[in-house]
Amino acid sequence: MIIFNRRVRASRRRPNQFSRELFAPLPKKYNSLAQVLSFAQDRRWRTEMIRHVASSRPMLALDVACGPGAVAIQLARSSEAKIVGVDLSPEMLHAASENIAHGYADRIWLVRGHAEELPFPDATFDALTFTYLLRYVADPQAVLKELARVVKPGGRIASLEFAVPARAHWRALWWIYTRVVLPAAGLLTGGRGWMNVGSFLGPSISSHYRRYPIDWTVDAWRHAGIDHVEWRTMSLGGGLVMWGYRAD
């Protein structure tokens, strides 16, 4: 537990550098291992998030913290949008480039950048998605404002994050899974890099929601200029999908 807590504290002190170092060895296996370690729930969560964006028929969308491109590719399959993917990790962007080369290179562009300072003018995009982002930034409220800045008024914004189950018995099982099973499964299926991620994940999620519970996050979205904010927990509370509209 001491090692876990040190990693959580490190992620707060230097979140960008920490997340890049943590995930640098993982891009090629990221999507498949995320499916395995989430009991195949990761794809369901992405589908739910994308549904709230694709239904608005965006022509230009931004995917922040795009990783190896799973969300961007799924959004391209679900809509006619052209998509820009942004990530701070060159390793993730390299993997995304390889993934989108198989049929989506003409509709998905990749840019290296930080969510704290996106390299786009105001009101550029019709829609925006972000995935597993807020635990890796120093100021979630400021990041939400920056995300909203680049979306046109009325544009859809949707996110996917891990969550902590609300019911006590599911939360107890979740705690055992994230502290014991997840690190071991990561080591067996993906090696030491995924063991490190598995060891960090549970304490990181718990710590984040102690500081920023769901009610706080909903208010933060609204303060960032996002209206009609709604949310849904999935898979017994292990996943959180949130969505809304850029205010006029």
CA–CA separation, 183 and 192 (whole Å)? 9
The pLDDT of residue 187 is 77
If you search the block for the tokens 């930080």, which residue do you land on? Answer: 114
Q: Supply the pLDDT for residue 200.
A: 81
pLDDT digits (tens, 9 = 90+) for 10-53: 445 556 666 666 666 666 666 666 666 677 788 899 999 999 99
- The answer to whether 136 and 213 have CB atoms below 8 angstroms apart is no
pLDDT at 5: 46
Reading the block at residue 228, the tokens are 């009609």
Paired sense of beta strands 239-246 and 60-64, if any = unpaired
Across the beta sheet with 125-131, the strand order is: 108-112, 82-87, 60-64, 125-131, 151-162, 239-246, 226-234
Residues 86, 19: Cα–Cα separation, whole Å: 14
- Using one digit for the tens of pLDDT, what is the confidence trace for 25-37? 666 666 666 666 6
Quick: pLDDT tens for 110-160: 999 999 999 999 999 999 999 999 999 999 999 999 999 999 999 999 999
Which residues have a Cβ under 8 Å from the Cβ of 16 and sit 6 or more positions away? 88, 114, 116, 136, 137
* Best CA proximity match to 56, nearest among 204, 156, 201: 156
The pLDDT of residue 24 is: 62
Domain ranges of the chain: 2-246
Round to whole Å and give the CA distance between 244 and 139. 20
The answer to pTM > 0.85 is: yes
d(CA 218, CA 241): 11
Look at residue 188 in the predicted model and tell me its pLDDT. Answer: 77
User: Residues 61, 53: contact at Cβ < 8 Å?
Assistant: yes
Say how far apart CA 211 and CA 217 lie, in whole Å: 10
The dihedrals phi and psi of 106, each to the nearest 5 degrees, come to -85, -5
Over residues 181-239, the pLDDT tens digits come to: 878 877 777 777 777 777 788 899 999 999 999 999 999 999 999 999 999 999 999 99
pLDDT at residue 3 above 50? no
Give me 129's structure tokens: 């998605």
Topology, domain 2-246: Rossmann fold (3.40.50)
What CA–CA distances, in Å, run from 57 to 29, 53, 229?
Answer: 31, 7, 19
**Residue among 164, 160, 85 at smallest CA distance from 118:** 85
What pLDDT is stored for residue 178 in this prediction? 86
